[in-house]
């Protein structure tokens, strides 16, 4: 098992979060690919342009969203997974989408998205393993 000292975890997590400054979050229905490097043929239900400072500085090895992440939904469907892209559009990270009480890294008020409606990301966090 890998455990990082908290100062190193904070430095790495903050640097990772900065990769997505002014980047993109795409929400998809269906099953996520097994690897973020796999090509994605599905059309996103919505693409959210992330703020210039997408994540707050890390604390305890954890980064959390900064600012407001929202957009108008393009396609009707049930959000099941997400892809984070850097500002150039390169896909970097994929993960699961859950409701407010779920255990996934990205949380929405409702997973059911309606075309023309607005989706608001209510939570997103990523934690690196620390010794505590």
Tell me whether residue 130 is in a domain: no
Tell me whether residue 132 is in a domain: no
Give the residue numbers spanning the domain of 73: 6-32+41-125
Tell me whether residue 131 is in a domain: no
Tell me whether residue 25 is in a domain: yes
**In sequence order, what are the beta bridge partners of 96?**
81
Angstrom distance (rounded) from CA 48 to CA 28: 12
pLDDT tens, position by position, 12-42: 999 999 999 999 999 999 999 999 999 899 9
Instruction: Work out the average pLDDT over 43-61.
Output: 97
Tell me whether residue 79 is in a domain: yes
Burial 11-29 (b: 16+ CB within 10 A, else e): bebbebbebbeebbbbbbb
Whole-structure pTM value: 0.94
What residue has token string 């939570």?
Answer: 123
Angstrom distance (rounded) from CA 14 to CA 11: 5
Tell me whether residue 110 is in a domain: yes
Burial 57-68 (b: 16+ CB within 10 A, else e): ebeebbbbbbee
Number of structural domains, the chain? Answer: 1
Q: Residue 9: phi, psi to the nearest 5?
A: -60, -40
Q: What is the pLDDT of residue 131?
A: 84
Q: What is the pLDDT of residue 132?
A: 67
Angstrom distance (rounded) from CA 2 to CA 8: 13
């Amino acid at each position: 098992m890998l455990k990082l000292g908290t100062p190193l975890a904070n430095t790495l997590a903050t640097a990772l979060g900065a990769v997505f400054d002014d980047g993109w979050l795409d929400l998809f229905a269906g099953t996520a690919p097994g690897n973020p490097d796999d090509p994605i043929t599905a059309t996103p239900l919505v693409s959210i342009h992330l703020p210039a400072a997408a994540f707050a500085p890390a604390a305890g090895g954890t980064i959390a969203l900064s600012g407001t992440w929202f957009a108008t939904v393009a396609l009707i469907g049930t959000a099941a997974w997400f892809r984070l892209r850097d500002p150039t559009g390169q896909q970097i990270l994929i993960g699961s989408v859950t409701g407010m009480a779920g255990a996934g890294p990205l949380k929405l008020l409702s997973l059911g998205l309606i075309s023309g409606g607005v989706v608001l990301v209510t939570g997103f966090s990523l934690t690196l393993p620390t010794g505590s």
